[in-house]
Structure formats: C-alpha cells, structure tokens
Structure 1
Amino acid sequence: MITASEPSWITPFAGLSPRRFGKLLTALRRDGADVVHRGRPWSLPLEDRVLLVTAYWRTNLTLRQLAPLFGISKSTASRVINHLGPLLALRPRERFAKDTVLIVDGTLVPTRDHTIAERSKNYRYSTNHQVVIDADTRLVVVVGRPLAGNRNDCKAWEESGAKAAVGKTLTIADGGYPGTGLVARTVADAARQNFRTGKRNTTGPTSGSAPVSSTSSPR
C-alpha cells in the first residue's frame, strides 16, 4: 500500500521532497487540518490523506483505482479530497512580482460528467485544466476553468481564464501553445544555458585557455 511513512512514495506522488512535504504538513496542522471533529474519525493519518489528494491531482487515476492503493474505500477517498483539497489550494493572486516567471501546461483529468467532458488523446472522457506554477517555488498559482478534454492547449489557455489571470507576467510553455505569445520552453532553456556559459567565462579561464606564464618572455 502507498503510505507517507515510506519516504520513497512521497516524491513521485506529491512532487515534493520528504523535507518539503513535512513543511506542508506543518502548515496544514497550523491551519487546523488535523483537528478532530464530531463524527466518524479518519482512517488515515494526515500525511497519508495529503498524499492521497496530491496523488489524485497528479495522476490520471480515478478514485475507484486510487482508493485501494491507500487501503480505503472510494467514498472515504472522496471525503478526504473534499476536506483537504480547499486547504491545499492557494488563494488566487491579483498580481505577481515583476521578476516572477511562470510555467503553464495543460493536464487531462478523467471526468464522468459528459456535459463538459469529451474523449481526448488518453481515450477517456476528460476535461482540460490549464495549470500554472511559479517557476521558482513550483507552487500552483492559477488553475483555469475546466474545458472539454478535446480542446487544444493554445485555445484552452485563453478560454479557461488562465491567460487573464496571469496578465503580462512572463510565462513559459511547451510546443503546444503556438501563436499565444508564450515563451517556448526550448527558447527559455537556451537562454538559461547561454547565461550559465557566460557566467563561467567571466569567473576564470576555461580548461581550453592557454596558461598564463609567470616568467618574463625572452628578449
């Protein structure tokens, strides 16, 4: 079974190192996520419940598939997500710092409501969610309104409201966003590599540089 007590499960399903995951748990406890209320007690400790929510968000597994991996029922998994999901969500920002760099990508979430879901490239009825993260902190800062799963990312970027939420903040995307004005990830990687190369060249001679002689040249 999947459990946060085994650190090897944390990074693949939470996207965080065990240390950062521990900090997240501390923040959640401070916000009252582990307060005991009346009614049926939770069958999983807080750390496993948080891991369940992040696994649900980061994978294409349905609750029916995910719940047995944590040793609980589908209805219990649903209760966990409904309880912890809002506590894990960040409040939408009205503006970003001037030097902020964001990254956007679309993710397909299996959805049973066929009034909005459509068959997509994963052959399931899915919805397209535009997810924007801060490139520095890796925290999710914007999630667009869900659209039909067959909607391509370059259209979903604007129609979901993600573009309006980001405003003019520098945003990086992959090749699925042509004509949107977003910075292509390949261009961003090249710029970063050029910066690192230039920095190395200014810190000292490279391995290919000729050594500087400490003796005077013959006359």
Structure 2
Amino acid sequence: MQAITSQCPEWIYPFTGLTPRQFKRVVAVVRRRGGPVIADRRPGRQWTLVLADRVLLLAVYYRTNLNMRQVALLFGVSTTAAHRIIDRLAPLLDTEPVRRMGPDEICIVDGTLVPVHDRRMAASSKNYRHSVNLQVLIHADKRLVLAVGEPMPGNRNDCTAYAESGIAATAGRATVVADGGYQGTNCVMPHRRRAGQDRLEGWKEDHNASHRRVRARVEHVFARMKNWKILRDCRRKGRGVYWAAAGIARFHNLALAG
C-alpha cells in the first residue's frame, strides 16, 4: 500500500480542507514554532517523515480519529513514532493570541460538548456521555475562530464555563452575542418573557429573530469543526482535547480566509 504523503497534493485537501498553498502556510507556522526539533532540544534519532508529512499525519489523525496503529500504517511509520509526532506537533498549532478588542467589535460565543475518555477532566453531561464543555469565540463578521477556551467539565453551565475557561478575559471589551444560557455575564442575550407574560412585545420578537440569525453563525462553525471526528470522541488525555480543538480552529480559519 502506498503511504500518504504531502508530496501528492491530492492527499492534502481531503484531510485538511486546505489548498497546497494554504497547507504550506501551516507547515511554516509549525516550523517557526520549533517543529523540526526532536524533543525538548535533546539529541536523538531524526524523524523518519519530513515536517510537512508530520503535519499531514496530525491532520489525518484529527480528521479520521483512527487509532495510532492505523495512522502509523497509513504513513509507513511505527506506532510509537506516530504517537510522538502527534504529541510534539499538536501544541504548535494553537491559535494566535487575540489582540485587545474594543466595544465596536462584535463576537459570538457558545459552548459545545465534546465526549472524552479522560475521566479526570470530564463529567457526565446532558449528551449522556462523559464530556467537556468547550467554549468557542468567533468574530461575527469574519466568522473566524478567535479563541478556544480551556476544557471545563461537561456538567458546568455555559455562564460558568465562559468565565473559568478564559474566554471572558479574551473577549475583553468586545460586544459578545450569546444564547440565554449566559445569564449573569455581560453578553447580549435574547429577550425572555417575564412571569405571567404571554408573549413579548413586537420589537422584542424582531430583536430575537435578528439575534438568532447572528448567533447561528457559531453553530455553523461548530458543524464544520466537528467534521473532524476527534471532536466527536476524543481519546487524548490531559490538554489533548484543547490542542485538537485549537488546531482544527487554525485549519478552519485558513480554509475560510483563503
């Protein structure tokens, strides 16, 4: 069986959603952040795969959620080597720090449940699985992912996870649109009926309809991100689910920005 390689451009788009030119930009980011280094700058055996192939291996793992033995077979390396490549490169695909935003900029935030196998950071959630709550902040106009929050146990409600995951600090002074689950925050939420009120005033209904159309953009982002199957059942331990979501966000942003 022929091994997957970045030298064949037809392999790149199905597993990254990027053109070969965009994929080279990802490889450049990884190289700039120390991707060629073996491990912690200690001497050791050189990598079997070139850097571009190692980045592609990571993308294949995120996209398909195959186990290490299967991914290693696709690239013609050992299971141990595949594991080392993923552990080494995953943190290097983290999203860029967000500049300080003013109140005129509009963002959208929402949380999604990601099932994980690491019970130390997960909790039984409303999806009937042990999951983490991942908060994601996107730009309302550009629809780019600005930040992924630290994973919170899946039984945390969104208003708590919003503050504790670091997303509230990242949003800063920006105007943040959210659903009704963000009570007690400074987010812009839909109007709700008061006790004993049969229906909202007409202008509030119109405002809620506009709010739903805007907030739907973050749901579309979640749908695209969850095409990467690792976000449907993550076997990574510790911060592995965060690194996966951050790396997928980078692929998503590059594909969207062109």
Determine if the TM-score, normalized by the shorter chain, exceeds 0.5.
yes
Range into which the TM-score falls when normalised by the shorter chain: 0.5 to 0.7
Q: Could you tell me which of 127, 136, 144 is aligned with 2:149?
A: 144
Aligned equivalents of 1:73, 1:34: Cα separation in 2: 19
Aligned equivalents of 1:128, 1:65: Cα separation in 2: 28
Aligned equivalents of 2:62, 2:168: Cα separation in 1: 21
Whether the 8 Å contact between 1:4 and 1:48 is mirrored in structure 2 is yes
Whether the 8 Å contact between 1:93 and 1:141 is mirrored in structure 2 is yes
Aligned equivalents of 2:188, 2:19: Cα separation in 1: 29
Whether the 8 Å contact between 1:118 and 1:126 is mirrored in structure 2 is yes
Q: Which has the higher contact order (CA 8 A, sep 6+)?
A: 2
Structure 2's unaligned 5+ residue stretches are 190-210, 218-258
TM-score by length of 1: 0.61
Aligned equivalents of 1:108, 1:55: Cα separation in 2: 22
Identity of matched residues, %:
47
TM-score by length of 2: 0.53
SS of the residue 2:101 aligns to: coil
Aligned equivalents of 1:3, 1:120: Cα separation in 2: 39
Alignment of 1:178-197 (within 5 A): 178-180=180-182, 181-182=187-188, 184=211, 186-187=213-214
Q: Deviations over 1:84-113 (max 9, x none)?
A: 223222453351366655454545445332
Q: Deviations over 1:181-214 (max 9, x none)?
A: 3574613679xxxxxxxxxxxxxxxxxxxxxxxx
- 2:35 matched residue in structure 1: 33
Structure 1's unaligned 5+ residue stretches are 191-219
Q: Could you tell me which of 80, 83, 87 is aligned with 1:82?
A: 87
More helix by share: 2
CA spacing shift, 1:74–1:122, aligned 2, 3 Å: farther
Alignment of 1:12-161 (within 5 A): 12-35=14-37, 38-56=43-61, 63=68, 66-93=71-98, 95-96=100-101, 100-120=105-125, 124-134=129-139, 136=142, 138=144, 140-151=145-156, 153=158, 155-161=160-166
Larger Rg: 1
* Number of residues of Structure 1 aligned to a counterpart in Structure 2: 186
**Structure 1 counterpart of 2:213, one-letter code:** T
CA RMSD, aligned part only?
Answer: 3.8
Give the CA deviation at 1:79: 1.7
- 2:247 matched residue in structure 1: none
Aligned equivalents of 1:20, 1:113: Cα separation in 2: 33
